Structure 1
């Protein structure tokens, strides 16, 4: 059942030439965990999509339309990942956007990513930096070349993720996840007002932990009592090692994973998928 997709009103295999997301990255995307044919956090994904579209002045397909196509793609009531890409349509060649152009969009179905090894993730520091751009900060926009370059820095299968800093040197995120660190009983997470993505799982963890949103130096990660990554598809991912720093399993991370399993049925069978 993997590999099925829907674009606009017609099933095709490639984005049409007037999709500005293809030419310029002029669009947004959502990657969502599906459980028994539905997206338990659909309201949160839709709210983020709408907020991003308002900032980019981008038209969206209606929620009802997206929900109908999602139901069709997962008509077996199966589990998996749904990826929605919405790009500005029209305008032809050139940067000037046609603000009234209807969106060109794609919804596709995919299997879960491979589960990490038991015991926690092994991380490294990335050399590629995230540019400081407040106009795009927080958005899950289609310009992801920084993450592509960062993820291309290693091919060691024992390393599962890399942490990224901004061009000013503060820690922002992993290549495909948000970051939380624990010092004593206090959680904190990097601010995303200058770059980075406002993750839906990040938002849930903020509501559960009251974590402080801070400018985070690399030393604050390396000296933490516990570190975790999170995203809406894989949930809460404990970190076992960052470079030479080893982190022992921490009960606070396990407790948050249990809370997530109660809040999101897709993680009830195991939060590390």
Structure 2
């Protein structure tokens, strides 16, 4: 089991390993009323990746807690979409990196209104000068250590919705808060999960929808030359809170904009 803390009622103890070392992970869910459409995939990922970190957490207890919180808090948003954030840490311990055996995990929950929807005509994005380093041991895990993303977001130019980050090989990997899908002459392309700092729940949902729709899709590295206006047939950003967001311009260059990927993603029955 875990110790539950509510951000609007009490803080976590000062010896929490999430605060001290980033020893934990988190999920951010979009909620409509008292229902989160992607609750199950979020909980599946949280339990799976917590297991990779050696943090034991019962899925049934997590689901029960989420359902109780959504039922309790839905009324204050008066039908508007809202966001539920789950922060799971290894728990508390003394000094030093070595975890104490048998520590009870901490679960901190917080919530707030969902951000405004991005413009339907697409968003303006750019490239980040901050490189993204992905440790293979931690690839895909939405851990509490997001300093590279923080520095990239901090340097984001005014009026830019998102910036894309590249790895040491020069491959475009993801945004600070989004995964990406590229429309090509041959179908759809998204960077491989093994190269990602965060393997998003919405990314997984969109992949499943593309497969269900019979759309050709590959997981392969995305290079800078593929994102030029002569080769790119559309660029889309995804995350669980924003959904599927078309890109209008990349580094000042106009790109084709359609709602095709969003239509495929949200007309499918894959969403739970």
Q: TM-score, normalising length from structure 2?
A: 0.87
Shift of 1:258: 2.5
**1:115-167 deviations in Å (ceiling 9; x for gaps):** 3334101110001111131111010111000000001112412x110000112
Which residue is equivalent to 2:155?
Answer: 153
Name the CA distance, whole Å, in 1 between partners of 2:98 and 2:54.
13
1:27 to 19, 24, 49: 24
Which residue is equivalent to 2:243?
Answer: 235
Q: Is the 8 A contact 1:166 1:195 kept in 2?
A: no
**1:85-123 deviations in Å (ceiling 9; x for gaps):** 011112222101134211111111111113333410111
Which residue is equivalent to 2:214?
Answer: none
Which residue is equivalent to 2:253?
Answer: 245
Name the CA distance, whole Å, in 2 between partners of 1:171 and 1:208.
23
Shift of 1:73: 2.6
Q: TM-score, normalising length from structure 1?
A: 0.86
Shift of 1:195: 3.5
Which residue is equivalent to 1:129?
Answer: 131
1:119 to 109, 112, 121: 121
Unaligned runs of 5+ in 1: 1-6, 267-273
2:82 to 80, 83, 100: 80
Name the CA distance, whole Å, in 1 between partners of 2:268 and 2:13.
39
Alignment of 1:9-28 (within 5 A): 12-28=9-25
**1:153-188 deviations in Å (ceiling 9; x for gaps):** 12412x110000112321110110000001114100
Which residue is equivalent to 1:270?
Answer: none
Name the CA distance, whole Å, in 1 between partners of 2:17 and 2:39.
25
Give RMSD over aligned pairs.
2.2
2:47 paired with 1:50: yes
What secondary structure does 1:45 align onto?
A: helix
Alignment of 1:165-244 (within 5 A): 165-210=166-211, 211-222=217-228, 223-244=231-252
CA 1:22 to 1:160, structure 2 compared with 1: closer, same or farther past 3 Å?
same
Shift of 1:204: 1.0
Which residue is equivalent to 2:96?
Answer: 94
Name the CA distance, whole Å, in 2 between partners of 1:244 and 1:122.
8
Which residue is equivalent to 1:140?
Answer: 142
Shift of 1:235: 0.3
What secondary structure does 1:82 align onto?
A: strand
Shift of 1:237: 0.1
Matched pairs, number? 256
**4+ residue stretches of structure 1 with deviation over 4 A?**
none
Which residue is equivalent to 1:71?
Answer: 71
